[in-house]
Amino acid sequence: MSVPHKVLVACDTFKGTCPSYKVGEAFEHGLRRYLRHRGTSPSSVQVVNAPMSDGGAGLLDSITFPTPQRENGSLLHFERITVPPSVPILGPLGVPLGNPRPTFAWEPRQHMILIEMATASGLPLLKDPSQFNINETTSHGTGQLIEYAVQYARKQNKEKGIVLLLGIGGSATNDGGLGALQALGLEIYVTDETNKTEVLLTTPFKGKDLSRLTRVAIGEKMKQFFFQTSPFIQRVYLICDVDNPLVGRNGATFIFGPQKCSPSMKYKDQKTQSDLNEKVGSIPSPQFYSFLEKTDAAMAKTATNVVKSTFSFLQAHHYQQQSEQAMTERLLHGRQGGGAGGMSGFFHYLLNSRYLPGAEAVSTLQNIQYNADFKKEMQSLASVDPHTTRQQKEEEGYLATHASLLVTGEGSYDSQTLLSRKTIGKLLVMSVMENKKQNKRAVEEVLILCGKCGFESSQAAMKETELFLESVLLEENNNNKKENVKAFIPRISVLPLGERFTHEECMTHTFDCIVKMIHDYYEAKNKNGKQRSNV
C-alpha cells in the first residue's frame, strides 16, 4: 500500500495522558516503523507536525512548537518565557504556584504576548477532586501573569503597544475574570461580613465574592494598561470556542460550573472520581441545582453593578453610541460571554476585547489554514516578504500545500465534536472547503485518532463524519447536487485506542498505543490491498 508523500499531523491534546505535540510524534514513529518494515526509506514521506489547541490547555505547546516555517522565520516566532520564582503568581485556590513555574509566549517582532490561562488558573492545577469549588477559585493569577508579561515586553520596547492573545480554555474558575482584572488594577468594592458596610476588597476576588460585590472602579494601574493615550496593551484578543452567554440556563455557571465542582458539592453522599466525567452541564441533584441558581443570580447582579459603576467612564472610550441598559443586556445575554467562568464577558465589556475562535486562531498561527477574519485583524501573521512566490505559496497554509493525508485527533470523538466544530470538527470542515476551493480532492484522506469513540463503532463514526461533511457542503452551496458534494469529501478513517487497548494501557501508555495502532493500521491496509490485487 502506498503512503501519501505529504502528511499534515494536527492533533489536539489527549487530556491527562498525552500533549498534542507528542500525539503527532507518536503518529510519525508508527508510520516510520511501518515504512522500515516494508523496506521503504522513512525520508520518502514528508510529515509536518503542527500541534493544535482550542485555546485551552496545550495552547503554549502548540504555538511554540518548532514547525518548519516557524523555524525559517516565515511565521510569527513566539519565544517561551518562564516567570522567575521571585515573582509570585497565584494558582486557582489563591496559593502561590511553585514548580513548574508558569510561562507565557512572547513574539518580539510584532510585540505580541500569548497567555494560556490554564497555566495559572486551570483545572489541571487542582490535584485533588475535593479542591474543585467555584466558590473558592480565582483568576487572580492570570492577571498577575499578564502583568508580568507586559512588564517583560516593555523592558524590550517601551514605545510600542502590546497585542495580548489570551487563551481562556480549561479554567477552574467562575469569578467572571474579575480576579484577573483586580490584579490588573480594577478596584472591587464589596459588603463586609456584617452586610452593612462597603469596603475595598484587598484579597483575591473569588467566586464566592460575586454575591457581595457592590461596585467597581477603574484604578490608575488599569488606566495605564488599557485606557491612557498610549496604553501598555493596545488590543486584547480572547481565544475561545465558547458560544454561551454569561448568565441563564445556558450560561457560564449552569453549563460549565458543574465540571468545576467536586462530587461532594453535587451529591449529599460522597462520590468517586468517575462522577467528574459527566456530560458538560450535567446537574445531578436538586441541592446542586439550587446552588447553581444562586451563583448565577449573583453573577447577574455583579454584571449589573459593574456596568452601572463603569459605564460613564467606558462610554468615553468605547461605547459612545450605546446606552447603559443596552450594554447591561449585552453583558448578561450576549453570545460568547460565558467563556472561562464569565471572563470572556467581563473582559469584552471592560476592555473591549475581541473574540477569536480557538481552532481557527491556532490553525492560522500554525499556518494550517488562514482564517479570513483573523488574517484581517493581524495583517502581519505571515510576514517577512509578502511579495515573493515562496511567501505567497506559504500563505496558502499547510492544508493546501502539504496534506494529501491529514491526521487529527483528541481524547474523545463523538457527535458533539462535529457539531461544536472545535479542533477535529473544524479541521474536517477546513479540509472539505479546501477541496472545494481547489475543485479536486487535494486532501485525499483524513485519519482521526481518539482515545474514546462516542459513536456505536469506528465504522459508525466514519459514516456519521461523512454525513456531517455532506451537510456542511450542501449548506455552503444549495445548488450542489449530492453526488458532486461527495467528490470533495476525503476518505475518513477513525482509530479509537479504546477499541484496541485496555483503559489502563490507554491512560498510562498513550504514546506507545498510538505508535502500535498506526503501524498495525498500515500493515492491515497493505495486506488488504494485496488481497484485492490477487482477486
Note the pLDDT of residue 158.
83
Q: pLDDT tier at 376 (50, 70, 90 boundaries)?
A: low
Beta pairing, strands 112-116 & 162-167: parallel
Question: Does residue 201 belong to any structural domain of this protein?
Answer: no
Residue in the block written with cell 518565557: 81
Note the pLDDT of residue 393.
41
Q: What is the per-residue burial (b if ≥16 Cβ within 10 Å, else e) of 404-425?
A: bbbbbbbbbbeeebbebbbbbb
Task: Tell me: do 331 and 256 sit in the same domain.
Answer: yes
Listed in order, strand segments (DSSP E) in 304-441 are 354-356, 405-413
DSSP string, 109-135: TTTEEEEETHHHHBGGG--SGGG--TT
Task: Tell me: do 352 and 496 sit in the same domain.
Answer: no
Q: List pLDDT tens digits, range 52-109.
A: 988 888 899 988 888 766 655 556 788 999 999 999 999 999 999 999 999 999 999 8
Domain carrying residue 487 = 6-50+403-533
The domain that contains 339 carries what CATH number? Answer: 3.90.1510.10
Note the pLDDT of residue 383.
40
Residue 353 in 3-state DSSP? coil
What is the pLDDT averaged over residues 272-299?
75
Task: Tell me: do 418 and 297 sit in the same domain.
Answer: no
Cell of 419: 457539531
Tell me how far apart the alpha carbons of residues 366 and 65 are, in angstroms, rounded to a whole number: 9
Note the pLDDT of residue 279.
53
- Looking at per-residue pLDDT, the higher value among 336 and 373 belongs to 336
Is the model's pLDDT at 485 over the cut of 90? no
Last residue of a domain, one of 303, 326, 360: 360
Mean pLDDT highest for which of 16-20, 261-265, 342-346, 360-364? 342-346
Q: pLDDT tier at 467 (50, 70, 90 boundaries)?
A: very high
What value, to the nearest 5°, has the Cα angle with vertex 520 and ends 519 and 524? 125
Is the model's pLDDT at 362 over the cut of 90? no
Pick from 9, 3, 1: nearest CA to 402 = 9
Contact 76/109 with Cβ under 8 angstroms?
yes
Cα torsion 308, 309, 312, 314: sign: negative
Mean pLDDT highest for which of 6-20, 173-187, 313-327? 173-187
- Looking at per-residue pLDDT, the higher value among 535 and 524 belongs to 524
Residue 225 in 3-state DSSP? helix
Task: Tell me: do 41 and 97 sit in the same domain.
Answer: no
Q: pLDDT tier at 391 (50, 70, 90 boundaries)?
A: very low
| End-to-end C-alpha distance for the chain, whole angstroms | 16
Question: Does residue 276 belong to any structural domain of this protein?
Answer: no
Is the model's pLDDT at 256 over the cut of 80? yes
Residue 40: count of CB within 10 angstroms of its CB: 14
Last residue of a domain, one of 360, 388, 416: 360
Note the pLDDT of residue 389.
33
Is the model's pLDDT at 42 over the cut of 60? yes
> DSSP class of residue 504?
H
Q: What is the per-residue burial (b if ≥16 Cβ within 10 Å, else e) of 113-132?
A: bbbbbbbbbbbebbeeeebb
Q: What percent of the chain has pLDDT over 70?
A: 88
In which order are the strands placed within the sheet that holds 213-218? 198-200, 186-191, 213-218
Question: Does residue 398 belong to any structural domain of this protein?
Answer: no
Note the pLDDT of residue 373.
64
Is the model's pLDDT at 432 over the cut of 70? yes
Is the model's pLDDT at 257 over the cut of 60? yes
What is the pLDDT averaged over residues 204-229?
96
Residue 341 in 3-state DSSP? coil
Name the average pLDDT for the chain. Answer: 87
Contact 495/452 with Cβ under 8 angstroms?
no
- Looking at per-residue pLDDT, the higher value among 107 and 484 belongs to 107
Note the pLDDT of residue 448.
96
Is the model's pLDDT at 273 over the cut of 90? no
Question: Does residue 509 belong to any structural domain of this protein?
Answer: yes
Tell me how far apart the alpha carbons of residues 34 and 45 are, in angstroms, rounded to a whole number: 12
Task: Tell me: do 13 and 88 sit in the same domain.
Answer: no
Note the pLDDT of residue 276.
43
Contact 409/450 with Cβ under 8 angstroms?
yes
Tell me how far apart the alpha carbons of residues 380 and 372 are, in angstroms, rounded to a whole number: 13
Which of 208-222, 275-289, 509-523 shows the lowest per-residue confidence on average (mean pLDDT)?
275-289
Tell me how far apart the alpha carbons of residues 483 and 488 are, in angstroms, rounded to a whole number: 10
Task: Tell me: do 18 and 125 sit in the same domain.
Answer: no
Question: Does residue 273 belong to any structural domain of this protein?
Answer: no
Task: Tell me: do 16 and 73 sit in the same domain.
Answer: no
Contacts of 169 (CB under 8 A, 6+ apart): 53, 54, 55, 56, 57, 59, 117, 118, 239, 240, 241, 339, 340, 358
DSSP string, 164-194: EEEE-TTB---STTHHHHHHTTEEEEEE-TT
Question: Does residue 459 belong to any structural domain of this protein?
Answer: yes
Listed in order, strand segments (DSSP E) in 418-513 are 445-453, 491-496
Note the pLDDT of residue 372.
64
3-state secondary structure 55-78: CCCCHHHHHHCCCHHHHCCCCCCC
Omega before 100 within 30 of 0, i.e. cis: yes
What is the pLDDT averaged over residues 480-492?
80
Task: Tell me: do 149 and 294 sit in the same domain.
Answer: yes
Q: What is the per-residue burial (b if ≥16 Cβ within 10 Å, else e) of 447-465?
A: bbbbbbbebeebeebbebb
Q: Which helix (H) or strand (E) element contains residue 519?
A: helix 510-534
Mean pLDDT highest for which of 1-15, 111-125, 359-373, 408-422? 111-125
Q: Which helix (H) or strand (E) element contains residue 432?
A: helix 423-438
Task: Tell me: do 114 and 227 sit in the same domain.
Answer: yes
Is the model's pLDDT at 379 over the cut of 70? no
Residue 510 in 3-state DSSP? helix
Tell me how far apart the alpha carbons of residues 169 and 344 are, in angstroms, rounded to a whole number: 10
Task: Tell me: do 167 and 314 sit in the same domain.
Answer: yes
Beta pairing, strands 46-49 & 445-453: unpaired
Question: Does residue 215 belong to any structural domain of this protein?
Answer: no
Tell me how far apart the alpha carbons of residues 372 and 145 are, in angstroms, rounded to a whole number: 30
Is the model's pLDDT at 171 over the cut of 90? yes
Contact 107/365 with Cβ under 8 angstroms?
no
Question: Does residue 123 belong to any structural domain of this protein?
Answer: yes
Is the model's pLDDT at 299 over the cut of 90? yes
Residue 434: count of CB within 10 angstroms of its CB: 22
Residue 216 in 3-state DSSP? strand
Residue 228: count of CB within 10 angstroms of its CB: 11
Q: pLDDT tier at 415 (50, 70, 90 boundaries)?
A: confident
Contact 90/118 with Cβ under 8 angstroms?
no
Last residue of a domain, one of 329, 360, 391: 360
Task: Tell me: do 334 and 477 sit in the same domain.
Answer: no
Counted domains in the chain: 2
Task: Tell me: do 45 and 96 sit in the same domain.
Answer: no
